[in-house]
Amino acid sequence: MSAAATETVTVLITDQEGSTAMAQRLGPVAAEELRLEYFRMLRGAVERARGREVKNLGDGLMVVFDSAAQSLACAVQMQQALDLRNRRAEEKLGVRIGVSLGDTSVEGGDYFGGPVVEAARLCARAEGGEIIVTDLVYRLGGSRDGYVFESLGGLELKGISEPVQAFKLRWAPAPAFRIALPEQLQELPATAYVGRAAERERMRELWGQACGGSLRVALLSGEPGMGKTRLATHLALAAHGKGSTVLYGRCDEDLGVPYLPWVQALGHLVREVPQPVLDEHVEHFGGDLARLVPSLRDRVPDLPSVRESDPETERYRLHAAVAGLLEGAGEQEPLLLILDDLHWADAPTLALLRHIVTCGSSMKVMVVGSYRDADLSREHPLTALLAALRRERGVERVKLSGLDAGHVAALMEAAAGHELGEDGRALAAEITRETSGNPLFAFRVLRHLTESGAIVQENGRWRLTGSLADLGLPAGMLLQHADAFELPTFGLLDEKPPVRVAASPTIADFVLPTQLAIMERATGYHPTIELSAVNSATAIAMVAAGTVDMAIAAFDSDQTPDGLVEIPLCRDEVVLAVPVEHHWAALEEVPLKAFLSTSLIMRDPGANTRRIVEQVLHEKGLMLAPALLEVGCTAEVQEAARRRRAPALLSELAVASAEGLVARRVTGMSFERRFSLLLTSESSLRAGARALVDHLRSQLVA
């Protein structure tokens, strides 16, 4: 009989938790199916870690390894595999694991000795889901791969005379699956990332809520170069680093392909998601997703045919299929979806986004959409979507404005590699002022100054070669080199971009032109205005949706719309616009009885001037006579009153500038209203818009 050989190995022993109770509860057939699944998962981990199975112990395995590190990797993979399986299964499987290391005797393929006994006893002491190892395994293998251990001290183990110093390995659950990060998000710009602390923190908070099972949508807006995509990329890298799924799609101005960002994002998901996720999706939604992602057929060769129906039904099925895939993937690991450049999005793309928002409240999904608010018109489909999403829970807008001088200075310090001196800080302040703190534009300006020799490096430090006043910022250098920057000039030219204003007709037609003329005479500055003359309710909706820089609207209450900054301006009163030929023109005031019994020319029922009068009368139990004529705007009311020689309801400001009409009040009645300037954020205004706000505040505040 040959002598037993001696080998120094690491011994790992497992035991299934609660196997006897499970067999009694489920019966022999179901218990056997679970037992086979259990051993299949354990052996998969053994194979990946290059272990050698010694024997089946009935409810567990005995495995040996040539290194302690391999044994720890195998133990963690076993626990993670069962944990992943348990997340989707009703019947849970648990395993306890003990690991020891030392000299063993080998005979007939079996291993004997102290390490085998220690591993078995440690396994018996462990609870389900625990890994307990000896001090030697901890010291030899625990320093690798960032493992975290908890000391258990000396354990008294059956059959072992001395206490065994032991440690519990605190393993981390594995992500359900690991999908590669989209190429567009794999690299950050080399420039430093400064500022945005509040925005980054809020994005992290929203992501945490999404991970908890509540769909969240963050809509990032701002000018080109403000860092919208970069903010989203930072969140994506952090999420992906913790095992979450990240998808990316971008709208394209020139391609005009319906659903383009969805095709990109979902195509990436379909290519990489584990097969069981797709199989389960197809079981519920058939082949409807193939309308959008034809590559689904490559992953599911026996994919059912797309169901044909009327266009509306087909669109609904497609939307439901997309929502179902996102929800299914999110059940494995939280999912972050980035939809970039939504200002170029087509209507189908936005309709699908709206469906996801309205039907997916319990998804472990966060959608981040970015758009340039300056590029939106009233007719753009995104404008309507933004207004609609204001009513939805879990949707939040994050407006990115320019950096302040301190952050621009930090950007410069990071690029220079040293702290700025007095001249450097002054240059940072000047660049901030002239670029409105746009980080990309500020960086391009710095690059130009370096390339032109205005800033040079000497003895490891950068310095100005001349005086700050000689740099000619911005009109000379910046506008001359705007093409080289590959950026618009933002607020550097008065004409680019125009200040977008939505105002009630009274302000648009009678107040704003006068104030612009006063502003030009006083300052020499006349901003270019892109003016929308709309009723007050529409003006408020437009500024809330971000399609204009500001709104000037009439109010008949003291309540400011949610999410807007209000700057009260002038007060006004609704009066009777009386043609000079009409007999009421000879009166100082029109008697209430005559007013109520006369049919007047009015704006449409939704107009603020009419609504204020009707509301005041209603509170007194009174009402207007039927309208003589209803017209759409202030100018039409003026013209109709003159042409028909009949009184009309108009703003006092509008009557004051109208030829052939005089203003008359109603005895004992006051129909007062206020005009206010409404902004989403005063700090985010460009230079031209800020100058206009400052002027109106100084001239018109009541």
Question: What pTM was estimated for this model as a whole?
Answer: 0.50
**pLDDT reported for residue 535:** 79
- What is the average pLDDT across 290-306? 88
Does the pLDDT of residue 175 top 70, yes or no?
no
Residue 643 CA to residue 637 CA, distance in Å, equals 10
User: 535-591 pLDDT, tens per residue?
Assistant: 788 888 888 888 888 888 887 555 566 778 888 887 788 899 999 999 999 999 999
DSSP string spanning 31-89? HHHHHHHHHHHHHHHHHHTT-EEEEE-SSSEEEEESSHHHHHHHHHHHHHHHHHHHHH-
* 3-class SS of residue 162: coil
**pLDDT reported for residue 264:** 93
Do 79 and 90 form a contact (C-beta atoms < 8 A)? no
Report residue 25 CA to chain centroid gap.
Answer: 47
Query: What is the DSSP pairing of strand 245-250 with strand 455-458?
Result: unpaired
Alpha helices per DSSP H over 471-607: 477-480, 482-485, 505-506, 512-523, 536-545, 592-597
325 pLDDT tier (thresholds 50, 70, 90): very high
Residue 514 CA to residue 19 CA, distance in Å, equals 86
Does the pLDDT of residue 62 top 90, yes or no?
yes
Share of the chain above pLDDT 90, in %: 32
For 58, phi then psi, to 5°, come to: 95, -65
Q: Which of 689, 690, 686 is nearest to 435 (CA)?
A: 686
End-to-end CA distance of the chain: 110
Residue 560 CA to residue 667 CA, distance in Å, equals 30
Q: Which of 233, 221, 98, 106 is nearest to 168 (CA)?
A: 98
**pLDDT reported for residue 90:** 78
* 3-class SS of residue 83: helix
Higher-scoring residue by pLDDT: 180, 701: 180
Peptide bond into 474 cis (omega under 30): yes
Peptide bond into 311 cis (omega under 30): no
Report the length, in residues, of the chain: 702
Q: Which two tokens stand for residue 179?
A: 């999908």
- What is the average pLDDT across 395-408? 87
Do 567 and 666 form a contact (C-beta atoms < 8 A)? no
Q: Which of 112, 84, 78, 103 is nearest to 10 (CA)?
A: 103
Residue 227: DSSP 8-state: S
Q: Which of 130, 141, 70, 54 is nearest to 97 (CA)?
A: 130
Report residue 443 CA to chain centroid gap.
Answer: 25
Least confident range from 46-55, 311-320, 325-334, 337-346: namely 325-334
- What is the average pLDDT across 168-194? 75
Q: Which two tokens stand for residue 261?
A: 């960002």
Least confident range from 386-390, 606-610, 660-664: namely 606-610
Does the pLDDT of residue 177 top 80, yes or no?
no
Residue 122 CA to residue 166 CA, distance in Å, equals 8
Residue 503 CA to residue 570 CA, distance in Å, equals 14
